[in-house]
Structure 1
C-alpha cells in the first residue's frame, strides 16, 4: 500500500499559541472552544494558520451491494440521481457551499452507473458498486487499497491547487450499513449500538437492517482496519479515508462531517494514527451510533444540530468557525495595543 507519510503534530507550539490568544483584547478564555480550534489550526500550520478562503468540499459517491438486502429505505438508483443533482448545483450541499464560499466537487468512487464527464466530477471509479457484504466481502483487498490510494491522490492534488482546507461529504444509498459494521469492528462497539435508521427507516425497516448486519458481521471476524474495510466496504468510505491521510500529509486540515465520514476517519486513524490531529470533527449527527463513535475517538464535535443528511452539510456549517478561529490569531489586536492606542 502506497500511502503518503503523515508528520506527527508537535504539541510544543501550543503554549506559544495560547500565549498569543491570552494577549488578545478579550478576557482570558472568553472565546471558549474557538480558542482551542485556533490552537489546533495553528499547530497544523506550524504557525499562523491561513485564512481558509480557498475551501473545497469533496463529496464521495459510491453504491453498496448490500442494499439489495433492504438496508436502506431507498433504492440504489438514488445515488446516481443525487450525483446528477450535485452536478446541477441543486442539492443541499450546493446551497450550503455557496452560502459559505466553498467549491464543491463530486468524486465517483464507485457509483453503479456510467457517469458523463462534468467539470465538477472527479472520475475515480474503482468498480460499479461494492459487493453484497451480507454474503461475501464487499471489496477485494486490492480494491480497498486502490480506493485508499486514489483518495490520497485526490487530496494531494487539491492541496497542490491551493485549497487550504478540505471538507468531506458522501453520497451512497446504504452506506450507513457499511459505516455501522466498520464502527462495530474498529471502535469497537456492540453492533446494536452502531445501527441506526439511516435515511428514513421505520421500525420494521430498522429491524430488517439490523438482521442483515448481524449476518454480515457473523460472516467475518475481521478486526484489522484494511481487512474490515474490504469485508464491509464501501468505496466512498475507503476513498474518504485515503483523502484524510493525503490531506494530513500535506498539512491541510480536514472538516469531518457526520456518521459516514466519521467512520472513514476511524479507518484512517486506525491505519495512520497521526492523522487524528488534522481532523476537525464538525457535528454530532442524529444517527444512532455517531455519539458512541465520537466517544471512541475521544473527540468533541463543534456543533450539535441534529443533522442526518450527510453530503458534507455539517462540515460546511463548521467552515465559518474555522475561518473565525484563524482570524482570531491574525486579525485581533492585543490588549497592550488597545491600551496604548497603537491600533
Structure 2
C-alpha cells in the first residue's frame, strides 16, 4: 500500500459541490439527510487498490456532493483496511469538513477469531465499534449498524448495544442491515422502548433482487412497507447486483472481472437468459440516454421509501458515470412495464438468493 508523502499539497473540495445535480433525502421521518447516491468502501478500498486511486475516488465523490461514506469493520482486504485507509484520507484531506460528512460503519459478520469475533452480542458490537473508531482516528461515527440478525443472541441484547453506542457518544444514529421485515419490526419496537430508535435499514436491493418489496401473492408486508410504518429510511446496497447490471457482462465474462474471480459474484447468474435480459435493459437505457448502470440506479430510486443507494467504484470515471444517474430519475408507465417484464418479480430474487 503506497502512503502519502509528508509534503503532499493540501486539498480543497470544490466550492460548488452542493450546487450540482446531487439530491438529498431524509432518512424516514428523521432529520438526517443523505445523498441519493452514497459511496460504499466494500470492495475497492483495501490493499488490492492503489491508495492514490482510492483518494481520487473519495475526492471526486465529495466534489460531486456525496457526503455519505459507508464502511464496515471487515471491509478490505484485509479486514479493517478500508477503515484504516479512509482514516488516512480523513486526516490528510477531509478533516476540515468532518461536519459535512456522514460516516457509517457496521459489525456483525466475522472480524477476528474466536467466539467473540462475530454476531450480535454486546461484547462483539461495542468492541468492534471501538476498534473501528481507532482505525479511522475519529471519536464517533454518524451511523452504527448491526450488520446482520444473529439468531443466537437475544434481539434485545443487540439493540441494547446500539443504544449504548449512541448514549456514550460513539455513534449519533443506529441502524440495522440484512434483517427481514418481521425482524425489523421487532428490533424497531425494542429500540423505541430503549430510547434510541432505529433510523435506517440497509438491505440488498436491485432489479434482480426485489425481496424488500411486497410480494403481491402474500398477505405479509414487504420490508419497505415495514420501514415506512416504522418511520425508518432505507439505503440499498448491491444496487448493480455486484456489477451484473452494468455493460461489463453484456457479451460474456471479461478477463479480470469480478465474475472471473469468483467470490461474491455467482457465475450461475450469467446464463443465456440473464444475458438476454441485460441486453434488453441496455437497449431501454440507451433510449433514455442512460447507461445500464444508470438505469438500474434510477429504477431503485424511483421508490419513495428509498433514501439512498450505496455504490462502489474502482475508478473516478466509473464513479462519475454512475453519479450521473441522478439526472434522470423519472420513468414513464410504459418504461416501468417494460422493465417489469425483464427483471425479478416484486418480493423475489431472480435466483431465490437469500439476503
Shared fold, TM over 0.5: no
TM-score (norm 2): 0.30
Higher helix share: 1
Q: Which has the higher contact order (CA 8 A, sep 6+)?
A: 1
